[in-house]
């Protein structure tokens, strides 16, 4: 479980620090690949991609989801790959939750093409889910 805790802590810290930096210093868009990709400050009141769910129950829904993922991680993270994956998911989710608790919105800042603007926490969650899918594929291949 040490790996799960370490990855969760690193993902959470990277998420929160990057959001604080974006909130304080990202005043104007910074192009990275011209108009295609850049850093731009955005506030997301929704859960994912700006989608709001159940109004005032949104935060409660997020907390329940985090608890369920944590319980699933305790029960089923048997390999280093799955522990890393769950750590990324939990760290990212907690980073977004704490950010939302600060001011009611999640700070996003990575803009790529027409894809919704996202942040480090979102990236951690996405990579974690992809690693869990890879774990399932590898497990099926071993059978």
Give the residue numbers annotated as catalytic, written as ranges: 108, 122
The distance from CA 65 to its chain's CA centroid, rounded to whole angstroms, is: 13
- Tell me the C-alpha to C-alpha distance, in Å, between residue 100 and each of 12, 71, 142: 13, 22, 41
Closest CA to 109 of 125, 95, 100, 121: 121
Which stretches of 11-81 are assigned E, i.e. beta strand?
A: 30-33, 37-44
Q: Is 95 in contact with 11 (CB distance < 8 Å)?
A: yes
Partners of residue 106 on adjacent β-strands: 44
Q: Is 125 in contact with 48 (CB distance < 8 Å)?
A: no
17 three-state secondary structure: helix
């Amino acid at each position: 479980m040490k790996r799960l805790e370490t990855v969760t802590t690193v993902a959470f810290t990277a998420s929160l620090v990057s959001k604080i930096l974006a909130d304080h210093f990202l005043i104007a868009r910074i192009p990275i690949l011209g108009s295609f990709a850049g850093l731009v400050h955005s506030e997301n009141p929704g859960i994912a991609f700006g989608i709001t769910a159940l109004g005032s129950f949104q935060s409660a829904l997020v907390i329940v989801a985090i608890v369920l993922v944590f319980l699933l991680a305790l029960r089923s993270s048997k390999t280093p790959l799955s522990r890393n994956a769950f750590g990324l998911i939990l760290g990212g989710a907690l980073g977004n939750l704490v950010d939302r608790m600060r001011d009611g919105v999640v700070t996003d800042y990575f803009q790529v093409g027409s894809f919704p603007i996202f942040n480090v926490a979102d990236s951690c969650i996405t990579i974690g889910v992809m690693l869990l899918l890879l774990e399932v594929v590898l497990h099926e291949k071993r059978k």
